[in-house]
Amino acid sequence: MIPTDLPFEFKRLQFPVRLAFAMTINKSQGQSLSVCGINLENHCFSHGQLYVACSRVGKPSALFVLTSGQKTKNVVYQRALQ
């Protein structure tokens, strides 16, 4: 897009755009996804949320996890394990 009727030149750069969706872990319950990315920079705040988030896809190669560092905290009620 370079107009010729103006005394100056300008160019427009367009970056490729890919369609994406985001939802909370609670909203993802009952969903089956072909590819899933999970942002765990903030820890899961409720029991079972990490399991729900990771179990939305059928194969591990379709699951992508973003964490701060290499670990995340999984909230587990110790009383439930007794």
CA–CA dist 55, 36 (Å, integer): 10
State both tokens at 11.
Answer: 């160019």
**Model confidence over 12-54: pLDDT tens digits?**
788 888 888 888 888 888 889 899 998 888 777 777 788 888 8
Phi, psi of 75 (to 5 degrees): -80, 120
**Model confidence over 55-74: pLDDT tens digits?**
889 898 999 988 888 777 77
- Write down the domain spans for the chain: 34-81
Task: Name the strand (E) or helix (H) holding 53.
Answer: helix 49-54
Q: What is the pTM of this model?
A: 0.61
Q: In this structure, what is the dihedral angle of CA atoms 82, 65, 26, 78, given to the nearest 10 degrees?
A: 10
